[in-house]
Amino acid sequence: MSDQQYELHIALVVEDDPYVRQLAAALLEEADLNVVEVESAEAALDVLQERGGEVAMIFADVRLAGVMDGVQLAKVACTLWPTIRVVLTSGAAGDWLDDLPDCVTFMSKPWRGLDILVQADKAVREPQPAVA
C-alpha cells in the first residue's frame, strides 16, 4: 500500500443553513474525512487556495450566502482542482442543471445519508482524473 492511502483527506461542506451543514459534516466524519465547514463559496475558495491539495470532496448547496452560488464554485473547483469530487445539492430545479460541469454529481434534497457516504468513499478511493 502506498503512503497516499494514509494521507488525511478533507471534505469541504459549503452550506448556508447551519443545521444542514452540521448534518452533512457529521455524516462525512463517519467516512474518515476531516471536515471543514463554510457557509459561502467565497469562504470555500479561501480554503481551497490554502489546502486544495488535501481536499478530496466538496459537498455544496446550489444556493449559498455571498455573491457566488454553488454552480459557480463547482466550475472554479473543477477547473483549478480537477481531482476533487464535487457534489452539488438543491431542493429546487433550475436551468443551472443543464450547465453543470461533467465533474459534478448532483443530489436533490432531501438527500440520503448513504448517498453522501458513497460519494465520500469514491472521493477517497477514486479521485477524479486530472485533465491532461
Taking only the tens place, the pLDDT of each residue in 28-82 is 998 889 999 999 999 999 999 999 999 999 999 999 999 999 999 999 999 999 9
pTM of the model: 0.89
> How many domains does the chain divide into?
1
Residue 65 has φ and ψ, to the nearest 5°, of -70, 150
Alpha-helical regions (H) of 69-126:
70-80, 113-125
Domain range for 74 is 3-125
Give a yes or no: residue 132 inside a domain.
Answer: no
Give a yes or no: residue 100 inside a domain.
Answer: yes
pLDDT at position 3 is: 41
- CATH number, domain at 40? 3.40.50.2300
